[in-house]
């Protein structure tokens, strides 16, 4: 993975030696898979929590198989994106021994996060009402599609379903065709953020009360937040949002225009910006002074005419010309980029969004930073997502003080799956090789 990382991205700069972590000392047992749950626990890990990811022996999280597969990493790029800074332990939760170990780990934990189908965690004997008896300080976060109670609790769901059923899809695209989903898993990502926020709030509350609590975060509920103020607009007006394409339905002129060489977006969020655009950028003082364009409402009603006027002007010069003028005039603007262009852009390099992190075996691995910067408790240095069960021995030794002999007894009893159970006591456990 050395090339092209060395030329494309800056080297990661480690956090100051000895600096504390925001969630230092917080232990998290992570029973999540796919995106929303794992991303939430990864954020906690980045903040310094000790996160132990519990996975099925052998296969692990299904998200490991999502492409593109990176042979050197033992999984796909999407999995790497959601599981940084965690340790993995392989437990067979279909075996009494595996469940018993999970319960022992939870007894030592501050937080549990799970996103099984409704009812599964209770059938395993690991539900909140059971666990809080032995660990009353436990914070138990449940991430689901439609909640854990009510008529729809048994429904499964993924990001695109939440986009569709919340009305989010209906808001995006163009008026002459069906709405379109966002390709990025925006509902999963935002649900992860909500779950993380909820856990942080519960930790603060526990600091006052000494008690843990149960948390529920549902993908469907969160999807409505992601529709913005559209629900209230619909309630007050009775009108459905119109798909605006690459324009803003609320401000004008805001949208995509084409310069001589490429497309860009401008956002005229108020009349002052419109005035600067017309006078300082385009040098059209007559348009700026025209009473027909005096208010945003006036401009929205005359959007087609304004857009035609702007496009006629913009296409005569390259983007670099307009970019310089708009930035000088304080007109918000940005070029339309591909993902590849964006991650290699001057802004991304300056903000160190994507960096290359040294790896003892692979040379360098890419890392996409969390968008948080603490002055006194900087985020943890990134560590590549673990292989399935990579840290089983280590976690059992550190958390439960089990020695190698005890771990082999548990392996023979089936705690770590059939592959370990069938092996000789003297044979190496699969993850230890």
CA distance 36 to 432: 29
Q: Which helix (H) or strand (E) holds 239?
A: none
pLDDT on residue 259 = 99
> 247: which strand partners?
255
Domains contained in the chain, CATH given: 5-228+351-420 (3.40.50.10540), 263-335 (3.30.1540.10)
CA separation, residue 121 to residues 112, 116, 142 (Å) = 11, 7, 10
Is residue 176 annotated as a catalytic residue, yes or no?
no
pLDDT on residue 360 = 85
Low-confidence ranges of the chain (pLDDT < 70): 1-4, 421-433
Nearest CA to 336 among 327, 328, 345?
345
**Can you list the positions of beta strands (E) in 170-262?**
214-218, 254-258
pLDDT on residue 7 = 81
pLDDT on residue 4 = 65
Say if CB 326 and CB 333 are below 8 A apart: yes
Beta-carbon contacts of residue 208 (< 8 Å; ≥ 6 apart) = none
Q: Which helix (H) or strand (E) holds 413?
A: helix 404-413
3-state secondary structure of 243: coil
pLDDT on residue 153 = 97
pLDDT on residue 427 = 35
pLDDT on residue 431 = 42
- Two structure tokens written together for 110: 């501050």
209: phi then psi, degrees, rounded to nearest 5: -100, -20
Residues 165-193, buried b or exposed e (16+ Cβ, 10 A)?
A: bbbbbbbeeeeeeebebeeebbbbbbbbb
pLDDT on residue 1 = 56
The conformation of residue 279, written as its DSSP 8-state character, comes to I
pLDDT on residue 71 = 82
pLDDT on residue 428 = 38
Identify the active-site residue in 30, 61, 159, 188.
Answer: 188
293-344 tens-digit pLDDT: 999 999 999 999 999 999 999 999 999 999 999 999 999 999 999 999 999 9
pLDDT on residue 2 = 52
pLDDT on residue 72 = 81
């Amino acid at each position: 993975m050395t090339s092209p990382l060395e030329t494309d991205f800056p080297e990661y700069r480690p956090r100051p030696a000895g600096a504390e972590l925001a969630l230092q000392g917080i232990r998290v047992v992570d029973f999540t898979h796919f995106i929303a749950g794992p991303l939430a626990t990864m954020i906690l890990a980045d903040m310094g929590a000790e996160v132990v990811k519990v996975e099925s022996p052998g296969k692990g999280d299904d998200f490991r198989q999502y492409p593109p597969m990176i042979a050197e990493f033992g999984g796909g790029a999407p999995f790497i994106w959601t599981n940084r800074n965690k340790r993995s332990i392989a437990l067979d939760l279909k075996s009494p021994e595996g469940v018993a170990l999970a319960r022992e780990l939870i007894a030592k934990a501050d937080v549990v996060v799970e996103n099984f189908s409704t009812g599964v965690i209770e059938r395993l004997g690991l539900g909140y009402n059971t666990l809080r008896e032995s660990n009353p300080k436990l914070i138990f976060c449940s991430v689901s599609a439609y909640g854990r109670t009510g008529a729809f609790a048994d429904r499964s769901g993924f990001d695109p379903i939440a986009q569709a059923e919340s009305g989010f899809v209906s808001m995006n695209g163009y008026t002459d065709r069906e709405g379109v989903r966002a390709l990025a898993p925006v509902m999963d990502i935002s649900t992860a953020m909500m779950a993380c926020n909820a856990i942080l709030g519960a930790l603060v509350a526990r600091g006052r009360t000494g008690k843990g609590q149960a948390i529920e975060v549902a993908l469907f509920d969160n999807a409505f937040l992601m529709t913005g103020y559209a629900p209230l607009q619909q309630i007050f007006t009775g009108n459905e949002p119109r798909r605006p394409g690459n324009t803003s339905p609320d401000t004008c002129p805001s949208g995509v225009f084409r310069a001589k060489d490429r497309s860009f977006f401008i956002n005229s969020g108020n009349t002052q910006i419109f005035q600067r655009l017309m006078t300082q950028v385009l040098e059209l003082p007559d348009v700026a002074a025209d009473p027909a364009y005096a208010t945003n409402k006036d401009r929205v009603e005359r959007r087609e005419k304004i857009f035609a006027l702007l496009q006629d002007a913009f296409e005569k010069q390259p983007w670099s010309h307009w970019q310089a003028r708009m930035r000088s005039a304080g007109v918000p603007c940005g070029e339309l980029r591909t993902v590849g262009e964006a991650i290699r852009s001057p802004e991304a390099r300056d903000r160190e969004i994507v960096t290359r992190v040294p790896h003892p075996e692979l040379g360098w691995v890419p890392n996409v930073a969390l968008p948080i910067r603490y002055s006194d408790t900087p985020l943890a240095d990134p560590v590549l997502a673990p292989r399935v069960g990579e840290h089983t021995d280590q976690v059992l030794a550190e958390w439960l003080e089990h020695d190698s002999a005890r771990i082999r007894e548990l392996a023979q009893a089936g705690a770590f799956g059939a592959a370990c159970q069938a092996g000789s006591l003297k044979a190496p456990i699969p993850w230890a090789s």
